[in-house]
Structure formats: structure tokens, C-alpha cells
């Protein structure tokens, strides 16, 4: 999404706030897939993701009259989504009374093979999707917001409510990890094919 | 294998987020730093690949649910804001107590048109009260102007009116005055 979309977003929001229902449908259709992809790939569970996705929109609808155009609509919306996801992970952590930490949730194994949301149209992309899926949540959040939200790093910092340096640092770590994971995953698959 | 310049500017350069001068400086650095050049290439390639990643949709019933919530909110905000009458009345009488002005004017007009009330002492009282009310209104308005000028940050009309301390006491006063007028009218007209 370029600068143009940034401006159309603002116009659509204004139009919706002045009572035009069709403008909301346009906003929704524009963001349905990018936003859901972000949430699903961050939470890695379809039921949880659908919950958080709806919660995001309910909160956005409520907060829209207070939305100010100095922040990009997409980063505003993804910021709400991120908070909904964090709430979900926190609840998940307290629900498991065995002291399971959010960080450990990151490393939990997927039971029964590869989840459907990691299915890609070719092998190279599948490797990439799986590698991103293995990143720690905070690095994954930055990568996914960049990939699916097409949000500039400066706005990601705003959406995640942290400094630009933190965002850049997480991205650098993410790329380092991806480099390693891609090498490992492909190596693994090759040995699997060869044996 | 890294370079402090890449840590600082590389990602923002790739993402097109550097200021013109900063981008120019980093481009100069790229000419003499092989590490940065290799990293920029690697990152660009990776970002290009991620553009091919699939997007996913939630179940179709979720779209309906969200749109319904959006339309309920739109109806609510439209009902609260957008009739010609409400806009006009807000423009003329931005604070609720200002409705007292036309109310008082109507009462006075009714009394003036009432043949039994002409020249009566009660009418003089009512007219005197009406003057007081307008005077008080003007004083409150002056207070509001003070609040406005004292508030350094940008304000919303609603924010200015709500902190005026005597609005609720004024309301009570207004109710008692209105009751008084009703009594008076009853006496004058006999109803
Ligand atoms: Zn360098």
C-alpha cells in the first residue's frame, strides 16, 4: 500500500464517520486479508485468530471517532490488532497454570504436521513461511507487520508502541535467524529426500 | 559480518524511509563498503520473496458480523450528529442552558399577548427576571470565554462547557424559575 492508499484510507474513514456505511465495507475489504494474515501467523491458531480479528474490528469501530489522521490508518489498525493478540497470548499463558510462558508458546510444536496457514504455492515460499513461523513472537510481529501490512518501520514502532531502534534491532535479528533457519530447514529436507 | 552503518541506516534505506540527505550519504557509503552492499542485496532479495507469501481470510460469517457492527456504529453516530435541526440548534445554542433564552422569550411574548396580564405588576417581575436571566447568561458566556483563553491546548466545545462549575446549579435554578413561571401563568390565566 503506497502513499495514495494512505490518503484514500483517510478519506474513507471521514466518509464513514459522516454516516456512509459503504465506506466501512471498503475499509474492511481492503484490510481483511492483510490483517487476518498478520493475526493468524502471529497467534498460529485459527480459532484464536478469528476471535482476535473480530475483537480488533469491534475496538476499531468504537475508537474510529477518536482516530486522528496524523497516524497512518493501517498502523493504527495493526496496532489495535497487535494489542488484541498480546491480550490473547497473556490469557493463554495464565490459563496454563503450569508456568508456561509466552516465549515457550513460541517454541511449541505443531501437532499433526504442518498447519494449513503455512501452505504456499511453491517449496521455496513454504520454507520461508515455516522459517518466519519459527521466529520468536516479537521478531515475527515486526516481520509480519512489514510483510502483510506493508507498514514503514517508523510506523511499526508506533503500532507496537516501542522505539524505532527496537524495531530495527528486531528486524536485524529476524533476518539473521531466517538466514540460519532457511539453511537448516532446507538441509533437513534434503537429507529427508536423500535417505 | 556487519557494519554499524548498516545497523543504523540499512533497513531504512531499503524501505525508502531515509531523508533525502541521509539517503544520499548512505548511497555514498555503499560505494566503498562491500559489507553493506552485500547486506542490502540480501535483505532486498528476502523482502522481494516475502511479497509472494499467501494471504488468508477468516470465515465468511465473520465479514458479516464485522460489517453489521460497523453499520450499527454508523447509525448511532449519524443519529447523534447529522440532522439539519440538530446542527442548526447546536449552532444557535451550543450549550443546553442557552435553550433558556428562547424559552424565556416565548414566555414574555405569551405574557405580552395575554390581555389579562397587561400592566400587571407580575408582568414587570417576569420582564425583570428575563433581563436577569439574559444578564446571567452573558456572565456565564464570559466565564466560558475565560476558560477558553486559559486553556492552552486545543479544545473541543464539549470539553469547555462541561467543566463550567455552575451549570448544574444553574439548571436547578432554571427549573425552579420555570416552576415559578408556570405558577404565575396559572394565576394570571386561571388555568
Ligand atoms: Zn557499511
Q: Can you tell me the distance from the alpha carbon of A50 to that of A24, in angstroms, rounded to the nearest whole number?
A: 19
Q: What is the mean pLDDT of each run of 10 residues along chain B (191 residues)?
A: 93 97 97 97 96 95 95 69 55 63 66 56 58 60 58 44 47 68 69 53
For range A31-57, the mean pLDDT: 97
> Could you tell me the domains of chain A?
1-97 (1.10.1740.10), 115-195 (1.10.10.10)
How far away, in angstroms, is B38 Cα from ligand 1 center?
9
How far away, in angstroms, is A178 Cα from ligand 1 center?
21
Task: Judge: B77–A17 Cβ closer than 8 Å, yes or no.
Answer: yes
pLDDT at A153: 97
pLDDT tens-digit readout, A87-142:
999 888 777 755 555 454 544 445 557 888 998 999 999 999 999 999 999 999 99
Which of B8, B66, B80 best probes binding to A when mutated, by most A CB atoms within 10 angstroms?
Answer: B66
The answer to whether the beta carbons of residues A102 and A93 sit under 8 Å apart is yes
Longest dimension (CA), chain A: 65
pTM for the structure as a whole: 0.67
Of B51, B57, B69, nearest to A61 by CB-CB distance is: B69
Residue A72 predicted with pLDDT over 70: yes
Q: Identify residues whose C-beta is under 5 A from ligand 1, the ion.
A: B 3, 5, 33, 36
Task: Judge: B50–A152 Cβ closer than 8 Å, yes or no.
Answer: no
| Number of residues in chain B | 191
- Chain A CB contacts of B53 below 8 Å: 120, 125, 128-129, 132, 147-148
pLDDT at B155: 42
Q: A145 falls in which pLDDT band (50, 70, 90)?
A: very high
Of B47, B55, B77, nearest to A65 by CB-CB distance is: B77
Q: Which three cell numbers stand for residue B70?
A: 460497523
pLDDT at B81: 52
Q: A31 falls in which pLDDT band (50, 70, 90)?
A: very high
Q: A147 falls in which pLDDT band (50, 70, 90)?
A: very high
Domain ranges for chain B, please list them.
4-50, 60-110, 115-189
Interface pTM, i.e. ipTM = 0.85
Task: Judge: B53–A129 Cβ closer than 8 Å, yes or no.
Answer: yes
* Three-state secondary structure call for residue A147: helix
How far away, in angstroms, is A163 Cα from ligand 1 center?
23
Residue A10 predicted with pLDDT over 80: yes
Distance from the Cα of B173 to chain A's closest Cα (Å) equals: 35
Residue A193 predicted with pLDDT over 50: no
Please give the full DSSP string across A104-136, using - where no structure is assigned.
HHHHPPPTTSS-GGG--SSHHHHHHHHHHHTS-
The answer to whether the beta carbons of residues A40 and A124 sit under 8 Å apart is no
Residue A165 predicted with pLDDT over 90: yes
Task: Judge: B58–A65 Cβ closer than 8 Å, yes or no.
Answer: no
Task: Judge: A62–B55 Cβ closer than 8 Å, yes or no.
Answer: no
For range A37-59, the mean pLDDT: 97
pLDDT at B153: 46
pLDDT at B136: 62
Amino acid at each position: 500500500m503506497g502513499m495514495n492508499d494512505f490518503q484514500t484510507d483517510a478519506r474513507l474513514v471521514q466518509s464513514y464517520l459522516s454516516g456512509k456505511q459503504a465506506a466501512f465495507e471498503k475499509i474492511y475489504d481492503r484490510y481483511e486479508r492483510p490483517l487476518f494474515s498478520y493475526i493468524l501467523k502471529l497467534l498460529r491458531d485459527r480459532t484464536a485468530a478469528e476471535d482476535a480479528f473480530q475483537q480488533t474490528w469491534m475496538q476499531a469501530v468504537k475508537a474510529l471517532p477518536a482516530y486522528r489522521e496524523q497516524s497512518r490508518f493501517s498502523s493504527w489498525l495493526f496496532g489495535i490488532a497487535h494489542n488484541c493478540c498480546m491480550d490473547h497470548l497473556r490469557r493463554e499463558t495464565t490459563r496454563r497454570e503450569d508456568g508456561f510462558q509466552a516465549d515457550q508458546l513460541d517454541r511449541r510444536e505443531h501437532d499433526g504436521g504442518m498447519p494449513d496457514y503455512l501452505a504456499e504455492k511453491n517449496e521455496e515460499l513454504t520454507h520461508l513461511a515455516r522459517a518466519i513461523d519459527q521466529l520468536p513472537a516479537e521478531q515475527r510481529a515486526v516481520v509480519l507487520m512489514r510483510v502483510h501490512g506493508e507498514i514503514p518501520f517508523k510506523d511499526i514502532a508506533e503500532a507496537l508502541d516501542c522505539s524505532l531502534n527496537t524495531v530495527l534491532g528486531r528486524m536485524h535479528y529476524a533476518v539473521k535467524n531466517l538466514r540460519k533457519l532457511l539453511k537448516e530447514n532446507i538441509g533437513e529436507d534434503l537429507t529427508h529426500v536423500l535417505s | 559480518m556487519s557494519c554499524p552503518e548498516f545497523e543504523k541506516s540499512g533497513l531504512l534505506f531499503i524501505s525508502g524511509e531515509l531523508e533525502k540527505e541521509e539517503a544520499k550519504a548512505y548511497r555514498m557509503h555503499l560505494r566503498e563498503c562491500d559489507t553493506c552492499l552485500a547486506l542490502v542485496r540480501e535483505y532486498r532479495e528476502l523482502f522481494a520473496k516475502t511479497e509472494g507469501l499467501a494471504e488468508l481470510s477468516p470465515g465468511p460469517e465473520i465479514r458479516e458480523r464485522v460489517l453489521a457492527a460497523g453499520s450499527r456504529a454508523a447509525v448511532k453516530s449519524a443519529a447523534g450528529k447529522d440532522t439539519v435541526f440538530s446542527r442548526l440548534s447546536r449552532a444557535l445554542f451550543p450549550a443546553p442552558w442557552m435553550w433558556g433564552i428562547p424559552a424565556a422569550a416565548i414566555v414574555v411574548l405569551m405574557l405580552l399577548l395575554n390581555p389579562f396580564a397587561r400592566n400587571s405588576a407580575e408582568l414587570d417581575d417576569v420582564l425583570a427576571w428575563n433581563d436577569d436571566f439574559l444578564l446571567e447568561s452573558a456572565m456565564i458566556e464570559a466565564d466560558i470565554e475565560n476558560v477558553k483563553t486559559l486553556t492552552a491546548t486545543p479544545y473541543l466545545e464539549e470539553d469547555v462547557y462541561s467543566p463550567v462549575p455552575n451549570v448544574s446549579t444553574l439548571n436547578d435554578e432554571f427549573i425552579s424559575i420555570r416552576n415559578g413561571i408556570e405558577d404565575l401563568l396559572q394565576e394570571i390565566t386561571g388555568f
